[in-house]
Structure 1
């Protein structure tokens, strides 16, 4: 069964994956990029190719997401984490996932006023462009050689779509800001949820503390300077790989976001931002 680590892009998914991969896939809780890769993204092109889908046929790709998950879940009794930026929605009359394949979801959300500046840096966009992408209700994430195209939706649509799993007890909401300021408390909440799902974590607090210590932003930023982190994109202007770990805690919309885009974001996402305590 799959536990989804779902989010809108640039909302803290990598930090969550780093913490969980350090705990579950290392002997002592130490973070490595190699272990981070063990929580991969869905859907990869390889997921669809493994069941014979032509990845150049977009409709067939969307219609076979659940078939690909069925194959992943043939390993009975094994729980797997997967990152996704897809919304929980229907495209080409086909659902992204279903209750049979989904054990649970941890959805991580971040203040959209800080998402937009991080999004702009990561995808080499202006703030104006990134704002327009975030409010685009019909937005897809582009296909890459490694990843299939998925329906993203707007920031608010993506957030609201996964809440539909609440009524099935398959949803835990985590705020990025809490993961930064109250990391241990949030992780204990996550581990309690994983135990509820049947993962039987047998919490090792020493190992958890090591995972927290080795995933501090500055440490991960230094690690990226000395190793290749393949999730960092290539800058189309320079041809060089950009820093994935860019501003971290210094990413403050109060200092970086102009009034025009600030107003646009707060107007479009007012309901959700009030609900989340961002306004």
Structure 2
């Protein structure tokens, strides 16, 4: 069964996945980039191709989301799946269902910080990035590319729609909301909260591996991850179309502070568009 790790892009999904990968897929809790590969992304167009689904037909792809999930769902164990999709129902075709999903962990981040991180990652201006957060509802889908993430169309919804959609898991008591800011400022406390939720979903007794926990906290520090990327490269980073060089995935970290780097017009635009959600999350 799947536990979804859902978020809008550039909201801290990679950090949480790294921590979970180090805790569940290593013997000592020491993180390296290979470990994160144990947590796959959905949708992934390659999975649809393998089942013979016409990937050029968008309606056929959406229609077969659950069929594809069933094709690799191990009902007897817990699998983590990353997604930036909103929890949709398109033409009566659902993104997932409770036969495949054990629950969801949603990672939220202040959109005033998301926008600058998103601008760096996609190599666009902050003005354009702000418009994307507010108006863009889908990303990717270029079948001419070779990278799976770029070939796969993801229906993200806008920032607020993405956040709101995953709340439906609340009704089954299978939903945990965490904030990226808490994952930074209270890392151990927040991660223990995540682990407790996972054990609850698994209906398993909760017990912490203290050695692993300590190593997870230490080795997923931003500065260490940034250094790892500089030394080894990171497969999720994008290529600058002009220079042909990789854009650093781990860019500013805690230095990404909207108070210092975001102009007043963009700040106001984001706060106006997402006033309800930002109040709910305590960002304004």
Asked whether the two chains share a fold, i.e. TM above 0.5, the reply is yes
Residue in structure 1 matching 2:213, options 208, 214, 231: 208
Whether the aligned pair in 2 keeps the contact of 1:109 and 1:175 (CA below 8 Å) is yes
Q: Displacement, 1:46? A: 2.0
SS at match of 2:41: coil
Q: What is the CA–CA distance in structure 2 between the aligned matches of 1:222 and 1:56, rounded to whole Å?
A: 39
Which residue does the alignment assign to 2:141?
143
Residue in structure 1 matching 2:166, options 156, 162, 168: 162
State whether structure 2 residue 231 is matched by structure 1 residue 232: no
Whether the aligned pair in 2 keeps the contact of 1:31 and 1:211 (CA below 8 Å) is yes
Normalising by structure 2, report the TM-score: 0.95
State whether structure 2 residue 198 is matched by structure 1 residue 194: yes
Q: Displacement, 1:203? A: 2.0
Q: Deviations for 1:97-153, whole angstroms, at most 9, x for unmatched residues?
A: 1111110100000000000000000001111110001111x5111125413212111
Which residue does the alignment assign to 2:30?
30
What are the within-5 Å matches in structure 2 for residues 105-144 of structure 1?
A: 105-136=104-135, 139-144=137-142
Structure 1 residues 245 and 199: CA distance shift in structure 2, 3 A: farther
Whether the aligned pair in 2 keeps the contact of 1:91 and 1:151 (CA below 8 Å) is no
Q: Displacement, 1:239? A: 0.5
Q: Which runs of 5+ in 2 are unaligned?
A: none
Q: What is the CA–CA distance in structure 2 between the aligned matches of 1:223 and 1:15, rounded to whole Å?
A: 14
Q: Displacement, 1:68? A: 0.6
SS at match of 2:38: coil
Q: What is the CA–CA distance in structure 2 between the aligned matches of 1:183 and 1:205, rounded to whole Å?
A: 14
SS at match of 1:33: coil
Q: What is the CA–CA distance in structure 2 between the aligned matches of 1:258 and 1:151, rounded to whole Å?
A: 29
- More deviation, 75-84/140-149: 140-149
SS at match of 1:141: coil
Normalising by structure 1, report the TM-score: 0.96
Which residue does the alignment assign to 1:250?
255
Which residue does the alignment assign to 2:276?
271
Q: What is the CA–CA distance in structure 2 between the aligned matches of 1:28 and 1:199, rounded to whole Å?
A: 24
RMSD between aligned residues: 1.2
Q: Displacement, 1:55? A: 1.6
Q: What is the CA–CA distance in structure 2 between the aligned matches of 1:150 and 1:67, rounded to whole Å?
A: 17
Q: Which runs of 5+ in 1 are unaligned?
A: none
Q: What is the CA–CA distance in structure 2 between the aligned matches of 1:191 and 1:230, rounded to whole Å?
A: 26
